[in-house]
Homo-oligomer: A and B are copies of this chain.
């Protein structure tokens, strides 16, 4: 029997609280099939590591370190924002990938990312055949944006959703306590430039047990200051306070981001602000209400300490499934999460062809947003509920979560060629 081919794994784009759980799934599963997969090499800083032949030898990491990836947020091998151009525009890059893969006897390509990386993965699969170095290219889904098609949801999203739902509930309790004499409006800004998935999760802060007045500002709904302020006024009159969950991607009627207010400091320098202070300021100007605002930013997608158990399990499962699919001979596919039932929640992982995944953005269904544009529907709740279910706490030492840092030892270079990215 010939020596088994090695595997290449890379993390792409914005990282999440559970992308390392996927890496854990890939590496632990590959290690179970040592007769079929050689070593797993990871790209240092994502695909850039492949282009520059900067590979990490994950076989140097012990079992315990790899297991600890499951509870460690961020990208253990480094990620990058680097979109490969189309084959026509930059064939050189794809050829370079194959050159590096050939030099290191790579037979499996696992690319862990969002829509762009699905496209790259598909192209790598195509060109590898043309260049007569066929490899099994599997895209492994990851994105807090939750915008990949076919898969019911994307690993990474469930944990952000849980973080935003929990944080919004907690802050709402706080503002409710203060509302009599002080803050009456709390604004939290959340990620999601194109779609309101994460903002929708803020709606889960309120449920039948714990009713909370919440206004959600979705990127899907053109912002109308008058309507918004009227709704704030109405809810503050009724409940004494209100929480506003605003997506960073909210646009005004002019189609421009609401956050892009052309802010200038006293010296006339441009200042980049978030959308939360802009919205909060409107509440003050129009209603004279005292506000507080928060911008969660990276905290939301890095918050492994409050990750969703469903999300961690699915992140691991798609990593494991990716390896199994590759071993079965699948190529140019993505392990997709298929929901079989919401109550009780049942799901499986099935393969989706990459040409159906690449370059397709899944938007929030219209019937997930309430008619007034400020809330979520029962359908949306049914969708989100299982994704935030369960806690999966990391281990702690002296009060702090123990997140692993790998040694990330380099694989010896075999090519003498430099490649500029």
User: A residues touching B (Cβ–Cβ < 8 Å)?
Assistant: 11, 14-15, 17, 45-46, 48, 72-76, 78-82, 162, 165-167, 169-171, 173-183, 186, 188, 204-205, 207, 209-210, 261-266, 269, 271-274, 276-278, 280-281, 285, 292-299, 301-306, 308, 310, 385, 388-391, 393, 396-403, 405
Contacts and interface: CB of A to CB of B under 8 A. Distances in A.
Given A263-B271, A272-B281, A281-B272, A174 B73 contact: yes
15 contacts: A73-B173, A73-B174, A80-B181, A204-B400, A207-B400, A261-B265, A264-B264, A271-B281, A294-B295, A294-B296, A294-B297, A295-B295, A305-B306, A391-B399, A393-B393
Given A183-B298, A294-B296, A310-B399, 4 more contacts: A170-B303, A170-B304, A389-B399, A393-B393
B261 A271 contact: yes
A296 B298 contact: no
Contacts of A165: 399-400
Contacts of A264: 263-264
Contact of A167 (B205, B265, B299, B396): B299
Contacts of A396: 391
A73 to B, nearest CB: 5
B293 A180 contact: no
A18 to B, nearest CB: 12
B75 A177 contact: yes
Given A11-B177, A82-B181, A391-B393, A296 B293 contact: no
Contacts of A271: 261, 263, 273, 277-278, 281
| Copies of this subunit | 2
A308 B398 CA distance: 11
Given A74-B174, A181-B81, A262-B266, A162 B388 contact: no
A341 to B, nearest CB: 16
A257 to B, nearest CB: 13
A182 B11 CA distance: 14
Nearest to A72: B173
Nearest to A397: B209
A11 B205 CA distance: 24
Contacts of A169: 400-401, 403
Contacts of A73: 170, 173-174
A74 B176 contact: yes
A148 to B, nearest CB: 20
A261 B391 CA distance: 42
Contacts of A167: 299, 302-303
Contacts of A207: 398, 400
Contact of A277 (B166, B204, B273): B273
Contacts of A177: 11, 15, 74-76, 78-79
Contacts of A162: 399
A283 B41 CA distance: 35
B266 A265 contact: no
Contacts of A399: 162, 165, 204, 308, 310, 385, 388-391
Contacts of A183: 298
A45 B259 CA distance: 35
Contacts of A405: 210
A403 B173 contact: yes
A169 to B, nearest CB: 7
Nearest to A396: B391
B299 A171 contact: yes
